[in-house]
Structure 1
Amino acid sequence: MSDWDWSYMENELAPTDKRHSSLEGYIRSIGRHYVAAVIIMTMLIGATYQTVEIALDRHSLQQDISYLTGRQFIRFQQLTNQTRAVMKASADPQMPEYIIKPMVEDVRKAIDDIRSMSGQLEELHGKLERNLLEKLNPRDTASEQMRVELAGRLEDFLKRADRVVSAKAQDRRQRYSFWGPIDFAVSSDSLLMRQFSTLIDNAHDRSDGSIDHARLISAVLLGLTAAALILATAILFMPLVRKLRNEHRRTVDFETKLTHQAHTDALTSLSNRSSFNDALSGFFASLEQIGTGFSMLLVDLDHFKGINDSVGHPAGDAVLRHVARMLQGTFRSTDIVARLGGDEFAILLPGIADATALEVLAKRAVAAIATEFCFDGRILPVSASIGGAAVPQHAADEATLMRVADLALYAAKAKRNTAVIFDEASLAQRLEENQLAAALAFAADRNEFLVYYQQKVNLQSGAHLGFEALVRWHHPRLGILPPGRFLSLMEGSHFISSMTRCVVNSVARDLKTWKAAGLRPGSVAINLPEVLLVGSDGYDLIAAAVRAHQLEWRDFAVEVTEDVFLNRSASQIMETITRFREHGMSVSLDDFGTGFASLVHLRDFPFDELKIDRSFVSDLGRDLRSEQIVRAMIDLARNLGKRCVAEGIENETQRDFLLGAGCEVGQGYLYAKPEPASAAVERLAVPYLATRRPSRRTMQIAR
């Protein structure tokens, strides 16, 4: 090849080489820019990722703080209720120690849990303070100070709760029997509740702020990236953004649920005490601003403890849900129906400030609650007592409203299954009952309880058979009081045991005196309360009286009501009754037909006499249905091989009917009214004569 050819080729190939060189340089330039872009993007992505991770870490810590604070708040409410339950149970002398002990352990467990949560919260707050974004944000001094104050108040509350459960049972009973639960509720439901709620709200708000910071920084950093990397950025970060949104949504849902749980009763889905107190405060604030009056009703179930004891707590829970449904169906949707705790309910009625209208609504609620309620195939007796008051007619502040409504409720509970709206008469009655209750505490020690005796006779011959011992209270100021005036004040207290001991000892002394005088009083029947029949107290009491006064066991008889069949401790009561009968004591089933005993109970329970309640006897000669029922009772007793005793015989017509139906024994004003031992002893030597029957006027006075 010639030199020309080479020169030509070089000239032709030179542009191509240049183009190739330029293309390679462009490619290299693109590569350099791409590498730089990748490095920058990598740095931006790394910075974005790191920022988001820091924000997420901060958000997660705040979430954990919010969640743990919420759990601590719920555990605190549980501790409050558990401690109140321990105090209430400790105030009940009938409550066995094996029931109180697990309740005390639950309180201690709650205290340990709350303190453990406090330690975890301190650790989380320490981690949060080390977070970079937290350091860049201004410090929330007020929230931090509130958190420290809450920790101090909470620890003080825990110490008080610990002192409650650490105290001996007797100390708790004496110290917390009345004002303890009220003081405890006041100390736990006010400032601590508000501080908990504020801290939860603050944690929620700062959690939202963390998400907002993450979004803002991510948007700024991602805005600096090239358009070509939008898809990659979307692929990398959209799932993360979706995760943040989902987590935020879950956080909002959790906070909503937590707030709902904090203000809702779990069993009935009604408002709880905290929500009720907030609403009540709001109503008074509205009253000050626009002057709109409102009313409040307090509801307390009758004999609810008996349902729990006899049928069990599942039945009690079912009754509470039934009452909640009845109340919701009775009142308007704008009315606030709440369960305050236990068997206590309350209703706030905005716009109703007239006592007459309030009474109509309260009576409607009483009727609704008293409808038949069936649980596990059996009808349970459900009724309620309701007390109410109106604002501003009866009260101008929360404390006064609660006090006067409670006074009205107390007056209603004295009658059962009724509604009472506050008035001055209710206040006077409550004060009188309080004075009687205070005097009862010393009645046994001062020997103020008296025993009256009502004679039991053979209906055919009128011959004396024995007595029933009936208690009277010789009040130092009011004179002789019948049991209807004071027995209801003894429910749930140890006073009834002290009174029964006085009755047994008085009967034993009288029996010894009569027998020493050569008289034949027969057996004297004593009503023993269930608290003395559960365990050996009742047996020991009679045994001590027999030994101390050289009596025989058959000188005494025991009367029990058919409610003992439904008592949770029925088996223990049956053991005590069996021990009595083994010594020759007669056992009577009193007030038969007024309770809920079944034929199975009658078949299995060891008794000797069946007593027909006076409510059936009083209608003999006037009501065919009562007559049929009495005949059936007498036939039932005869078929079971038991004696039949009729109470409340007041006229010859009733006596003749009972004789014709086959009843053997009777008692009532036709034969003798309840009278002191000095008068009753005269009947031991004088047989019954029809001409000695007391007049109707005498019988009315005797009652």
Structure 2
Amino acid sequence: MIGKPLSKPRQSVEQYIRSIGRHYLNAVIVMTLLITATYLTMLVALDRHSLQQKISFLTSNQFIRFQQLANQTRALMRASADPSLPEYIIIPMRDDIHRAIGDIRAISAELHALDRSIGGNLLERLSPRDELTVQLRRELNARLEDFLGRATRIAEASAEDRRQRYSFWGPIDFAVAADSLLMRQFADLIGHANDRSDVSIDNAKLISTGLLALIAATVILASIFLFGPLLKKLRNEHRQTMAFEKRLTLLAHTDALTGLNNRSSFNFALGNLFGELERNGAGFSMLLVDLDRFKNINDGLGHPAGDAVLRHVARALQRTLRASDVIARLGGDEFAVLLPGIRDAAALESIAERAIEAIAADIPFDGRSLQVSASIGGAIVPDHAADEAGLMRIVDLALYTAKSGRGTTVIFDEAALARRLEENQLSLALVLAADRNEFVVHYQPKVDLTTGAHLGFEALVRWQHPDLGLLPPGRFLPLMEGTQLIRGMTRAVISAVGRDLKAWKTAGFAPGPVSINLPEVLLVGQEGYEFFAGAVRENGLEWRDFAVEITEDVFLNRSADRILATVARFHQHGVSISLDDFGTGFASLVHLRDFPFDELKIDRSFVDGIGKDARSEQIIRAMIHLAQSLGKRCVAEGIETEGQRRFLTDAGCDVGQGYHFARPEPAALAGKRLPQRAAAIDRHADGASAASRRRLALR
């Protein structure tokens, strides 16, 4: 009797334990199913997120390659403007364009494959179809393929076709067509891809929260241990992706060196301003800033110095302009500024002048001070232009006019356009000038300032233009800077001087040495030396019949050692070396000590100040004393009055030239002034003795 009641509780406990076991097993099964469902959901969400991130990354990469292709294509079109550019330079540029086109199309194919992959994702099937992204992708692909077709046609065009069709306005038109609309579509598509990625994260969070809410405390703890690290990794990945996209966008719109807007950002801002003009008639102005002789600093002192100058210019523009103005570095040493609301030409010119003044401030670099000047061209919208391409052409015309004076500002006008067209025609004619023997030489005599005896000539080039007549060097030499044309012109001058020297000496005259200015490009290698060697050999002359004039800028050239070797080679042959335009460049006492020159030429800007500026007179006396201390001759150029001659003679200057003695003349007229050889030798000896006595007395 007692056993029965005792057996029931024991059975109840066993049943309870078994029930608990069954519930526990069921709970484990449910928890396992819920955990498995949650885990699978996260995998699906991660897969979708990963695909979206790949699409976003590839779209961003495609945008970068598109920008590179646009720059490469513009570079090819600009290069086509120079007919003397060798083909081995053009071919790699064309190959780079084809390679970029292939990369863009390969990325498009990969994006298409990713679109198909993401379509099979479960969450993507549950979400409404993103018709806007599909439409954006279809429009972008169509316009991008049209752009690639244009780039392909440019790359595959013949050199002559590119020169005729693209060399002048092509790069600007191409830039406007390429950058504005396509860039906005790329930005929209990247933004939509990022939005879809955020949706994936939100869906994953929502489903996971709903499933985890059904699990008991044990399930929550298990979920924390199982999925906590996974969620943390997902959040970190999302933050890193967002930071990467933000940095990518910043890099795509910012110049890395100066921190200013780059060309793409500038084009976008320019498009927005034209949009404002269409909507409410709000006009604006644009300035184009180009540094003067920046290449001399960059090549002479190296890229770190050039970078320091560019950063200084960026800071100067930021200090000068308003916070609302858009400042951009377009490339190289070219900057652009957009000024909303500025419609007055006088106000625009005043702003540009302040910018030039700020840029001209000293730049500390490596224990020394650098100086740079800038030229600025400006235009007003809609007064001067009604669209982006027209504005770029107009501002470029104004800048080109300003560059002729350096350190100046030119706001566009019709006269600037006329001058630009004339300069373009001269540039084209210069290509054939040397081959047509259109360069002629005029001679200005050098005389002993004490005796008036003829000592030699300086050869000055002129251009006998077939239509415009005889042009002075100021009309065409600036157009030859940075081109190969300077080589042909110098060769023609040396050949002409050699022939004239031979004729004079055959006639029994004593012309003395003829000075020829030799540019840096012909001093770096042996080419300039070979020109003179050919003239000596072909005309039966002596090396001392020539003199070489160089400017102080050679001291800043990276190849100064090679230049020094070439000059020393001239010196060994007895060729007189003259340091031209002394006092206007960068020569230091170390340069003067180590450089094998024979005479210093005082620049005409100092001579012009005689009787007007006491500082110029003091500088001249110091130059003459320096030359005498170094045992060198001193030559003053630009002497136009008897008072200037007397001052220079009293100061101890040996040789002079200028209008006071004779203007530059053709060989036929200059030869009439020449003395016979014997008399010239006697006079030269007397003059040399007098100069020596003066130097000894001053010492």
Regarding TM over 0.5, the answer is: yes
What is the deviation of 1:108? Answer: 8.9
Paired position in structure 1 for 2:688: none
Paired position in structure 1 for 2:527: 537
Moved more, 317-326 or 197-206: 197-206
Paired position in structure 1 for 2:471: 481
Paired position in structure 2 for 1:632: 622
Residue 298 of structure 2 is aligned to residue 308 of structure 1:
yes
Residue type of the alignment partner of 1:453: Y
Q: 1:605 to 1:94 in 2, by over 3 A?
A: farther
Equivalent of residue 389 in structure 1, options 379, 383, 405: 379
Matches within 5 A, 1:519-558: 519-558=509-548
Moved more, 470-479 or 122-131: 122-131
CA distance in 1, matches of 2:154, 2:271: 27
Paired position in structure 1 for 2:54: 64
Question: What is the TM-score with the length of structure 2 in the denominator?
Answer: 0.88
The two structures, once aligned, show a CA RMSD in angstroms of 3.3
Matches within 5 A, 1:67-82: 67-78=57-68, 80-81=70-71
Q: 1:339 to 1:606 in 2, by over 3 A?
A: same
CA distance in 2, matches of 1:91, 1:604: 41
Partner deviation per Cα, 1:332-376 (whole Å, 9 max, x = no partner):
111111111111111111111111111111111111111111211
Moved more, 598-607 or 116-125: 116-125
Structure 1 runs not aligned, ≥5 long: 1-6, 690-703
Residue type of the alignment partner of 1:248: H
Residue 285 of structure 2 is aligned to residue 295 of structure 1:
yes
Q: 1:661 to 1:550 in 2, by over 3 A?
A: same
SS in 1 for 2:672: helix
Equivalent of residue 360 in structure 1, options 322, 330, 350: 350
Equivalent of residue 571 in structure 2, options 566, 577, 581: 581
Paired position in structure 2 for 1:594: 584
- Mapped contact 2:101–2:148 kept (Cα < 8 A): no
Paired position in structure 1 for 2:490: 500
Matches within 5 A, 1:216-365: 216-226=206-216, 229-365=219-355
SS in 2 for 1:684: coil
- Mapped contact 2:136–2:185 kept (Cα < 8 A): no
SS in 2 for 1:503: helix
Q: 1:188 to 1:578 in 2, by over 3 A?
A: farther
CA distance in 1, matches of 2:170, 2:522: 27
Q: 1:399 to 1:107 in 2, by over 3 A?
A: closer
Paired position in structure 1 for 2:368: 378
Residue 663 of structure 2 is aligned to residue 677 of structure 1:
no
Residue 444 of structure 2 is aligned to residue 451 of structure 1:
no
Q: 1:184 to 1:530 in 2, by over 3 A?
A: farther
CA distance in 2, matches of 1:282, 1:184: 18
- Mapped contact 1:150–1:195 kept (Cα < 8 A): no
- Mapped contact 1:94–1:492 kept (Cα < 8 A): no
What is the deviation of 1:300? Answer: 0.8
CA distance in 2, matches of 1:311, 1:139: 56
Equivalent of residue 138 in structure 2, options 142, 145, 156: 145
What is the deviation of 1:377? Answer: 1.5
Partner deviation per Cα, 1:259-301 (whole Å, 9 max, x = no partner):
1221111111111111111111111111121222211111111
CA distance in 1, matches of 2:262, 2:217: 56
Moved more, 677-686 or 447-456: 677-686
Partner deviation per Cα, 1:177-225 (whole Å, 9 max, x = no partner):
6556446645642454344333322321221121122122213322333
Structure 2 runs not aligned, ≥5 long: 684-699
Q: 1:126 to 1:542 in 2, by over 3 A?
A: farther
Q: 1:490 to 1:642 in 2, by over 3 A?
A: same
CA distance in 2, matches of 1:525, 1:206: 75
Matches within 5 A, 1:425-444: 425-444=415-434
Residue type of the alignment partner of 1:145: R
* Number of residue-to-residue matches in the alignment: 676
- Mapped contact 2:49–2:197 kept (Cα < 8 A): yes
CA distance in 1, matches of 2:182, 2:241: 24
- Mapped contact 1:299–1:409 kept (Cα < 8 A): yes
- Mapped contact 2:97–2:151 kept (Cα < 8 A): no
- Mapped contact 1:302–1:413 kept (Cα < 8 A): yes
What is the deviation of 1:458? Answer: 1.1
> Percent sequence identity over matched residues?
65
- Mapped contact 1:94–1:531 kept (Cα < 8 A): no
Residue 24 of structure 2 is aligned to residue 34 of structure 1:
yes
What is the deviation of 1:93? Answer: 9.5
What is the deviation of 1:665? Answer: 1.0
- Mapped contact 2:438–2:465 kept (Cα < 8 A): yes
CA distance in 2, matches of 1:275, 1:350: 16
Q: 1:278 to 1:630 in 2, by over 3 A?
A: same
- Mapped contact 1:111–1:162 kept (Cα < 8 A): no
CA distance in 1, matches of 2:597, 2:67: 48
Question: What is the TM-score with the length of structure 1 in the denominator?
Answer: 0.88
Partner deviation per Cα, 1:210-249 (whole Å, 9 max, x = no partner):
1122122213322333466334434444444444333333
